[in-house]
Structure 1
Amino acid sequence: MSRDVRRRAVAEALGTAFLVCGVVGSGIAAQRLSPSDVGLQLLQNSVATGAVLVALILALQPVSASFNPVVTVVEAALGRVGASVAVALVAAQVMGGLVGAVVANLMFDLAPVSVASQERGGAGQLVGEVVATLGLVVVVFGALRSPRAETVAFAVGGYITAAYWFTSSTSFANPAVTLARTLSDTFAGIAPGSVAGFVLMQVVGGVLGFLAVRALHPPAPISLDQESS
């Protein structure tokens, strides 16, 4: 593994760990601060998640800031990263997410691992995951075409904050984060038995997002000069 790939993998692991800390930790704090108001808990959780995404993307984008296996695989499909690099980054994202969940539990004096019991599923929530992931991919790769690098951070943070509310699944939209959330039996948790359905729908959303990005932003045609060079 080259030094550049190692740097990118460290950035992805660190960023995903902090992202999961933000998701899980703010969920625990919300439960404790507003124990009788689930709507307020969701508001607190969504704002914290959107804010930490903005900060992490701004800080780590110069190295690597996908924090999401679906986004990384779409990057590979679009030719932005090689397949071997994508595998390394996805592995780093998954490991970082698991560490982030454990750290979040420890910060709030909980057991390092508590298997989540909250079942999530049903047709509506599964459709919600397709919509959430499709929208995320379109937002990420549309914002990347902006001449201002910080556009991606604010676009993604804003989208995820909103998608917590307009999708029935509260917008997991990330296989690494979904898996990590099985390790905390708290507000943000998801039971292990619900993970496969969520991840499958995230993959479907990623494929649809890839097709949408291709339709909206087709590759530049190769000129005659390029063909002859």
Structure 2
Amino acid sequence: MSTPDLTRRLVAELLGTGLLVTVVVGSGIAAQRLSPDDVGMQLLENSTATFLGLTVLILLFGPISGGHFNPVVSAADWVLGRRAGTGLTGTEVLAYSGVQVVGAVAGAVLANLMYDVPLDQLSTTERTGANLLLGEVVATAGLVALIFALARTGRGMLAAPAVGAYIGAAYWFTSSTSFANPAVTIGRIFSDTFAGIAPGSAPAFIAAQLVGGLVGVGLVRYLFPGAALVADDVVVPHHPHEHTDPAEHP
């Protein structure tokens, strides 16, 4: 068995990120229409669909590309693995991030088409305030720490349900409802619905996510100093080689 070539991995990231945004935006539209007077029920419906959809998408595409679907995760993979010669290269991070953004925008457009939402309207949902940005830092840091902790301790195959559960929970325990993903944030600009974010709010959200990614990397380096050895297996194992027992590497 050989490592999937870069083109196949990029297609997997394109489709995975696109369908993730379709799930987020589509379920947001459905929730808004099914429960028009109950924002709490809308959030419950949206978060449940995202939890289940993300889990399935990681299971489907993870064995090909790792199932990153997130530029912060791809960048963290490079940062942690570069000294050990594992994980993505800098060129691959740029390629992954590019297709993730394209996929995210396409996914929002697909959701709009399915629900007959006008394609020429950007989101008008303002999401501003230091409290929301702090929520994004917390959500993204926790996501990065979780992913690499699972890989480092040989539990990468649990990443699909664990990551899905974390994001589903973070919808509720973070003030920002846990975007935690620059590509998804950009994609959600293109739908003026419950799940959208206004273009003017997106840059600060993305900046907070990058800060959260750095915090997450710092936590991983401190708590799991051998994480670089398993960067090839993030988010889920997708390389043919096998690593030695993580416990053997302090």
Asked if 1:92 corresponds to 2:99, the answer is yes
Task: Compare relative contact order (CA 8 Å, sep 6+) and give the higher one, 1 or 2.
Answer: 2
Q: Among the aligned pairs, what percent are the same residue?
A: 55
Q: Deviations over 1:76-126 (max 9, x none)?
A: 101211101111111010000000000000000112242000100101101
The correspondence for 2:76, drawn from 67, 74, 97, is 74
> Which runs of structure 1 show a deviation greater than 6 angstroms over 4 or more consecutive aligned residues?
none
Matched letter for residue 4 of structure 1: D
Equivalent positions of 1:178-197 (< 5 A) are 178-197=185-204
Q: Is the contact made by 1:31 and 1:187 (CA closer than 8 Å) also made in structure 2?
A: yes
Equivalent positions of 1:123-202 (< 5 A) are 123-202=130-209
Distance 1:219 1:22 in 2: 35
Matched letter for residue 138 of structure 1: A
Q: Is the contact made by 1:103 and 1:112 (CA closer than 8 Å) also made in structure 2?
A: no
Q: Is the contact made by 1:57 and 1:153 (CA closer than 8 Å) also made in structure 2?
A: yes
Partner of 1:217: 224
Distance 2:56 2:115 in 1: 22
Asked if 1:47 corresponds to 2:48, the answer is yes
TM-score normalized by structure 2? 0.85
Q: Is the contact made by 2:220 and 2:227 (CA closer than 8 Å) also made in structure 1?
A: no
Distance 1:166 1:148 in 2: 25
TM-fit CA distance, 1:3: 7.2
Q: Which moved more, 1:156-165 or 1:146-155?
A: 146-155
SS at match of 1:177: helix
SS at match of 1:171: coil
Distance 2:220 2:139 in 1: 15
TM-score normalized by structure 1? 0.93
Q: Is the contact made by 2:24 and 2:49 (CA closer than 8 Å) also made in structure 1?
A: yes
Q: Is the contact made by 2:139 and 2:180 (CA closer than 8 Å) also made in structure 1?
A: yes
TM-fit CA distance, 1:145: 3.0
Gaps of 5+ in 2: 82-86, 229-250
Q: Is the contact made by 2:4 and 2:64 (CA closer than 8 Å) also made in structure 1?
A: no
Aligned length: 221
